[in-house]
A and B are shown apart, each in its own frame.
Chain A
């Protein structure tokens, strides 16, 4: 059974601060790592799908890195804005059953 862990559980920052979250996952039988951004009452929105060790992806002020050998991924937000407030979920792709194995998420609150 895969366990995906995320830290911190929650984070409160001021507008303009840069921040980062951690996702750890078992490195054996790795297929892909997903990051989702999830605002309350909306659908989880896919940010990144990463498959290769050393992958770095960027979308605007948000970027992510992947280390499959040691089993971790970092999500970075540069210059946080109030609209970045959301829960950020990471998930490891389970493979044969096609399922995603999620962490519990990091809840980010950005104060103006």
Chain B
């Protein structure tokens, strides 16, 4: 399955954070979502074969990396209080594949 680390973390405003995701074996596409309190998950971006394929309405301080070994990272610079949320990653078997498999998420709190 899809795994994420860490489970929880607390950061201070202005700091930088890296969240990690390990995709399901054989999946070459990973998407990241942010779920703020009371909202549905919002699309941040998608990576396919280590290249960004699409991006939602998030500023450039949200960036990502995808590695050949099915792992990926979400990096957020200059953290703001509103970045406090649950961050989900989802993997799929390729572009145009409807089915996305989610990890349990990382809970980020910015103080």
Residues of B within 8 A of A99 (CB): 31, 43, 46, 54, 56
A81 touches B (CB below 8 Å): no
Which are the 3 A-B pairs with shortest beta-carbon distances? A97-B54, A102-B40, A99-B43
**Contact assessment for A101 and B43 in the assembled complex, using a CB-CB cutoff below 8 Å:** yes
Instruction: List residues of chain B with CB within 8 A of the CB of A102.
Output: 33, 40-42
Q: Is the CB of A34 within 8 A of B53?
A: no
Chain A contact residues, majority secondary structure: loop
User: Closest Cβ of chain A: how far from B44's Cβ, in Å?
Assistant: 9
Q: How large is the interface on B (under 10, 10 to 19, 20 to 34, 35 or more residues)?
A: 20 to 34
Nearest residue, chain B, Cβ from A6: B40
Q: How many residue pairs at the A-B interface have CB separations less than 8 Å?
A: 66
Q: Chain B: residues with CB nearer than 8 A to chain A? A: 1-2, 29, 31, 33, 38-43, 46, 48, 53-56, 88, 90, 92, 95-96, 98-105
Q: Report Cα–Cα, A49/B102, bound state, in Å.
A: 14
How many residues in A have their beta carbons less than 8 Å from beta carbons of B? 26
The residues of B that contact A43 with a CB separation of less than 8 Å are 1-2, 101-105
Given contacts A41-B104, A98-B92, contact A34 B98 (CB under 8 A): yes
Closest residue of chain B to A5, judged by CB? B40
Ordered by A's residue number, 5 sampled pairs between the chains whose C-beta atoms are within 8 Å are A43-B2, A89-B41, A100-B43, A102-B42, A105-B40
